[in-house]
Amino acid sequence: MRRACLILGILVLALVWLGPLLDGWRDSFSAHMLAHMGVVAIAAPLMAIGIPLGPTPDASRAFTLALPASLVELIVVWTWHAPALRALAQSTLFATAVEQATFLAAGLFLWLACLPRRGSDTTGNAAGAFALLLTSIHMTLLGALLALTPRPLYGTGETSCFGVALSAQQDQELGGVIMLLVGAAVYLAGGMTLFARMLATPRRKTV
């Protein structure tokens, strides 16, 4: 099971990075968002599931690992979606590679920090659930901002994604909707799953 998830995650990553999303359609913001969500919300959790994890850390370490990981994800995502950096990532292959590498690193850091480990207790599951729900919130905010902003932030010309011609405003709105439907939903589902696991985990008796 773990090996299958790891292989599937790597295949998704290869499809995103070697396909047309970052090549033929690199000028499209919605194509960029599909690539972004493919990396952090699909490939990263699959790969994290497939990576063997050691025993759970103690309660204090669980909180200090999961919550900063969510903050790192927030900083990486919001920074790369600033108009100037989005234009930079779109302009050169090297900048695109750096952007995608940081997306993968932040995504793996977060999912590895939040996924339950052997011997996970209520505190560990609570930390992971809170971190994933926090990430879902900031993904929702950014997706809504991109979808509802009344002017394009990333260029003014017409672009094409999957052979469909889109204005800059339509392209940005579609990208925001993709972030809402994929990113926010996946992190919300992960957080709620851990929350349910937390409620189902018996409390350890203290002597």
- Whether 195 maps to a domain, the answer reads yes
The structural domain count of the chain equals 1
Q: What is the pLDDT of residue 125?
A: 73
- Whether 150 maps to a domain, the answer reads yes
pLDDT > 70: percent of the chain: 87
- Output the six-digit token pair for 133: 């729900």
pLDDT digits (tens, 9 = 90+) for 7-50: 999 999 999 999 888 887 888 899 999 999 999 999 999 999 88
Does residue 37 contact residue 180 with C-beta atoms inside 8 Å?
no
- Whether 178 maps to a domain, the answer reads yes
- Whether 105 maps to a domain, the answer reads yes
pLDDT > 90: percent of the chain: 54
pLDDT digits (tens, 9 = 90+) for 41-54: 999 999 998 887 65
Question: What domain range is 21 assigned to?
Answer: 2-52+59-200
- pLDDT band, very low/low/confident/very high, at 2 (cuts 50, 70, 90): confident
- pLDDT band, very low/low/confident/very high, at 164 (cuts 50, 70, 90): confident
pTM of the model: 0.86
